[in-house]
């Protein structure tokens, strides 16, 4: 059991006396010395034990030390192992040849055994320090290029690899495709079950996507160009994933992958005692028609994904050039709405509620309407969804409620007790201070008090 914890070094020399002396000099509580009497035996011992250091005699039968050193350096496990060449002469030619085949150090015979022992200890310490640096570099690479939650390649890795694949595709004139996947309503998992369950779900989604891609026969057909992988699954951040298809025979192969991904989500995800159903929306862009560089290809796949969501979610959409103009118009509308709220352009219009028997107005409903400075109306079904998605609905709701309370006070002071109904977004009800907001607005416009009726509406249907 103690030997298992020892550092193993391999001594190779056809002289039995030299091997015995080396073993006596180097063996200790922490070092175990293995022996080999010729070059071929040294290779067998190396492949079996993977020692931490080798001492190779230059002149041996069957296979000399230079040949053994060259073989080990070419081996996948021997690239960084310290190798000390033991030579009977200290001529420059032998020294140059030792370094040329990959030796770490050399020592000339006759050997000064005390010096050899100290040199071996020093090289072992240096080798361990180097190994620690290699491990640290690997860990840093893992942190830089892989998602810590799912273990998948991250956005930075994808961008590097994507540029290489696209250059290859451009050179060989074939198509590739990018699938941009977003999980529909993932936020509700975090909101209702907590972020720990959201993290568990993302890991299970990543595993299912990986299994789905491994099982797909289609990818074996795409994996036939200069060392490229058929697909690459990446975590793009949060609940977004990408699948890159490195070579297409036809664009409909990307469609088959998207359909396969959507079908794979039909089985609920088991999160401890809960079964969670979640669906993907997928945007697809094809190189080179939808972008001839990595950034454009990704941006257009992302744009197509948003249109998949607008089309009802749990579906895929191929990128079309017209999508960019629609996306730009939506972004402009978002910017205009932000300014409109600052300038108080969104105001309530009052729809009367009339008693059928008396014909009198008994109440009104406050409807949010946006009139631009040019006098043009922007319809609620255009700006309300944007307000809800961006969080501007909170400010918009407060402004409408403020206007409605002020108008109710004016009517009340004029002798008209009219009930005012104000539609409120579900997002506002989630605000912990919402009751206090109502009280403050009402108190701000009235000293005598009056009743404002507030009713909920379905989110996304603010009218």
Q: Which of 397, 377, 433 is nearest to 405 (CA)?
A: 397
Same domain, 342 and 436: yes
Q: Which residue has the tokens 């249109």?
A: 307
Same domain, 446 and 349: yes
Other beta carbons within 10 Å of 159: 13
Same domain, 335 and 314: no
Last residue of a domain, one of 93, 121, 143: 143
The total of structural domains in the chain comes to 3
**pLDDT score recorded for residue 317:** 94
**pLDDT score recorded for residue 218:** 44
Separation CA 201–CA 269 (nearest Å): 7
pTM for this one? 0.59
**pLDDT score recorded for residue 413:** 86
pLDDT in tens, the chain (463 residues): 444 568 888 999 888 988 888 888 888 888 899 999 998 999 999 999 989 899 998 888 778 889 999 999 998 888 888 998 888 766 677 778 888 888 888 887 788 887 888 888 888 888 888 877 877 887 777 788 899 999 999 999 999 899 999 999 999 999 999 999 999 999 889 888 999 999 999 999 999 999 888 655 444 444 444 444 568 899 998 899 999 998 888 888 999 999 999 999 999 999 999 999 999 999 999 999 999 999 999 999 999 999 999 888 999 999 988 887 777 788 888 999 999 999 989 999 999 989 888 888 889 999 999 998 888 899 888 899 889 888 899 999 999 998 998 898 888 888 888 888 888 887 787 777 888 888 888 777 765 445 544 454 443 433 3
Decide if 12 contacts 65 (C-beta within 8 A): yes
**Is residue 461 assigned to a domain?**
no
Query: Rounded to 5 degrees, what are φ and ψ at 462?
Result: -80, 115
Q: Which of 266, 250, 252, 257 is nearest to 215 (CA)?
A: 257
**pLDDT score recorded for residue 358:** 87
**pLDDT score recorded for residue 447:** 54
Decide if 86 contacts 55 (C-beta within 8 A): yes
Other beta carbons within 10 Å of 451: 10
Other beta carbons within 10 Å of 385: 17
Query: Rounded to 5 degrees, what are φ and ψ at 228?
Result: -85, 155
Dihedral sign for Cα atoms in the order 433, 434, 438, 439: negative
Same domain, 118 and 82: yes
**Is residue 149 assigned to a domain?**
no
**pLDDT score recorded for residue 458:** 43
Instruction: Give Cβ neighbours of residue 153 (< 8 Å, ≥ 6 apart).
Output: 145, 146, 147, 161, 232, 233, 234, 235
Decide if 397 contacts 428 (C-beta within 8 A): yes
Q: Which of 178, 182, 181, 155 is nearest to 296 (CA)?
A: 178
Q: Which domain holds residue 415?
A: 329-456
Same domain, 235 and 111: no
3-state secondary structure of 361: strand
Please provide the DSSP assignment of 434-462 as one string.
Answer: HHHHHHHHHHHH-SS----EEEE--TT--
Last residue of a domain, one of 123, 143, 163: 143
CATH number for the domain harbouring residue 412? 3.20.20.450
């Amino acid at each position: 059991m103690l030997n298992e914890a020892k550092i193993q070094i391999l001594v190779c020399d056809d002289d039995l006396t030299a091997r015995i002396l080396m073993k006596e000099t180097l063996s200790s509580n922490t070092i175990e010395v293995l022996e080999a009497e010729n070059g071929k035996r040294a290779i067998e011992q190396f492949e079996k034990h993977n020692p931490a250091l080798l001492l190779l005699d230059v002149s041996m039968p069957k296979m000399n030390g230079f040949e053994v050193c060259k073989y080990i350096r070419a081996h996948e496990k021997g690239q960084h192992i310290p190798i000390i060449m033991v030579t009977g002469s200290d001529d420059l030619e032998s020294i140059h040849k030792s370094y040329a085949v990959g030796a770490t150090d050399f020592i000339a015979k006759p050997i000064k055994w005390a010096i050899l022992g100290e040199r071996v200890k020093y090289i072992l310490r240096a080798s361990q320090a180097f190994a620690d640096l290699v491990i640290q570099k690997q860990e840093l690479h893992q942190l830089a290029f892989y998602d810590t939650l799912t273990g998948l390649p991250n956005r930075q890795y994808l961008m590097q690899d994507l540029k290489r694949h696209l250059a290859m595709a451009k050179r060989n004139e074939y198509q590739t495709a990018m699938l941009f996947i977003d999980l529909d309503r993932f936020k509700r998992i975090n909101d209702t079950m907590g972020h720990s369950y959201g993290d568990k779900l993302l890991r299970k989604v990543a595993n299912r996507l990986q299994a789905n891609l491994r099982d797909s026969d289609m990818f074996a057909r795409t994996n036939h160009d200069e060392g490229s992988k058929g697909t690459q699954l990446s975590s793009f951040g949060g609940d977004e994933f990408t699948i890159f298809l490195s070579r297409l025979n036809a664009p409909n192969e990307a469609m088959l992958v998207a359909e396969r991904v959507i079908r794979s989500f039909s089985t609920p995800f088991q999160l401890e005692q809960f079964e969670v159903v979640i669906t993907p929306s997928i945007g697809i862009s094809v190189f080179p028609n939808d972008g001839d560089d990595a950034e454009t290809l990704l941006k257009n796949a992302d744009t197509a994904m948003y249109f998949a969501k607008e089309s009802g979610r749990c579906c895929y959409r191929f990128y079309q050039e017209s999508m960019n103009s629609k996306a730009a118009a939506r972004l402009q509308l978002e910017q205009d709405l932000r300014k409109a709220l600052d300038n108080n352009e969104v105001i309530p219009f009052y729809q009367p509620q009339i008693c059928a028997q008396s014909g009198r107005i008994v109440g009104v409903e406050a409807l949010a309407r946006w009139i631009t400075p040019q006098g043009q109306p922007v319809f609620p079904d255009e700006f309300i969804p944007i307000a809800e998605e961006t969080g501007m609905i909170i400010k918009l709701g407060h402004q409408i409620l403020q206007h409605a309370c002020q108008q109710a006070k004016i009517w009340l002071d004029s002798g008209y007790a009219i009930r005012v109904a104000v539609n409120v977004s579900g997002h506002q009800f989630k605000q912990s201070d919402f009751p206090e907001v109502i009280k403050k607005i009402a108190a701000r416009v009235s000293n005598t008090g009056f009743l404002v009726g507030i009713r909920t509406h379905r989110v996304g249907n603010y009218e």
